[in-house]
Chains A and B, each alone.
Chain A
């Protein structure tokens, strides 16, 4: 019943979102990044990892719209392929943190007692570390790779989702419809997955879209420090790192990869803000 209700109201919500100019801009920027990631091979005639030693550190030109880097690789192509890495990391780290965090948080909130204490104290421990530093430490221990970067960012975001899920569950668990299901003899698993989860989903999704942006930034941090996807894979972070050495000779290397990060993160933040306004009309 809840799902159908959400479905029916989706169309006017999307329309309301597009009416908001900032939200429309956000959706456009996010769409741009997704488009770049999906159609990278079609949009550029070059390969992201193929050096061209005749065209090294060339400025923007018709052949290379955003110039070339120190190995003659086309910067435009690398930025397109870098979008894949960023969106991949954002999607998987936020999705896994959301699923696990929602599960842990709702269980903690619904069951309560010692289980609640154990789960939430564990989350507090993760929360006590500055996020970038914890992600750094985790990738340092596991070894630098894309998968480990995703894992590290997921762990860092886990307590955020767990806290929201727990707080929401505490609100919902004593409401009449949950009480009714309990009285009808449904078990805790059924109540949690079928009744509580759909009703606490909205704030989790909003938080997810906002954390997507910060996941992209953290990924850039990690690959900037050489702890994300390893060369020659193009990521915005390691392009930025690479550009530092040539800041005097070829400043466009830093501009364009930095711009890519900025534009995408701005897009996700705008979409996240719009989603929050939609789901929680009280705050506007």
Chain B
């Protein structure tokens, strides 16, 4: 989903993090590219962690032994 954001925001000109990334790439503004990618990656990891935690809450069989 977070990858698709880039396309969606470019098509509809929504001022989100995907649009920032693409604009920065074409402006050769590498610090902004790095920052945007890093933030998105962090979000991605955190969301994955949260889903894993919620899984164990819903299904007690999955909890760490």
Chain A residues with CB under 8 Å of chain B are: 128-134, 136-137, 140-141, 221, 224-227, 244
CB distance from A186 to the nearest CB of B (A): 38
Q: Could you tell me the distance between the alpha carbons of A137 and B25 in the complex, rounded to whole angstroms?
A: 8
By the criterion CB–CB under 8 Å, are B6 and A129 in contact? no
Residues of A within 8 A of B26 (CB): 226
Main secondary structure of the interface of A (DSSP, over half): helix
State which of A128, A132, A140, A224 has its C-beta within 8 Å of the C-beta of B41: A128
Q: A140 contacts B25, CB within 8 Å?
A: yes
Number of A-B contacts (CB under 8 A): 52
The chain A residue sitting closest to B33, CB to CB, is A140
- By secondary structure, the B interface counts as helix
Residues in chain B near residue A226, CB distance under 8 A: 26
* A-contact 0/1 string along B16-46, CB 8 Å cutoff: 0000011001100010011001001100110
Measured in the bound complex, the distance between the Cα atoms of B10 and A136 in whole Å is 13
B2 nearest CB neighbor, chain A only: A130
Complex CA distance for A131 and B3, rounded to whole angstroms: 7
Q: Is B4 in the interface zone, CB < 8 Å from A?
A: yes
B3 touches which one: A133, A141, A224 (CB < 8 A)? A133
Give the A-binding residues of B (Cβ under 8 A).
2-4, 6-7, 10-11, 21-22, 25-26, 30, 33-34, 37, 40-41, 44-45
Known: A224-B7, A225-B10. A133 touches B2 (CB 8 A): yes
Contact of B44 among A129, A136, A221 (CB under 8 A): A129
Tell me whether B45 and A128 are in contact (CB under 8 A): yes
For the complex with contacts A137-B37, A140-B25, A140-B30, 11 further pairs of A-B residues with Cβ separation under 8 Å are A128-B41, A128-B45, A129-B40, A129-B41, A132-B7, A133-B40, A136-B21, A137-B34, A141-B33, A224-B10, A225-B10
- In the complex, the chain B residue whose C-beta lies closest to that of A218 is B3
Complex Cα gap A226–B25 (Å): 10
For the complex, give the distance between the alpha carbons of A128 and B22 in Å.
20
Shortest beta-carbon distance from A164 to chain B in Å:
19
Q: How far apart are the CA atoms of A137 and B41 in the complex, in Å?
A: 12
Measured CB to CB, the closest approach of chain B to A20, in angstroms, equals: 31
Nearest-neighbor residue (CB-CB) of B44 within chain A = A130
Our pick among A128, A132, A141 for the contact of B6 (Cβ within 8 Å) is: A132
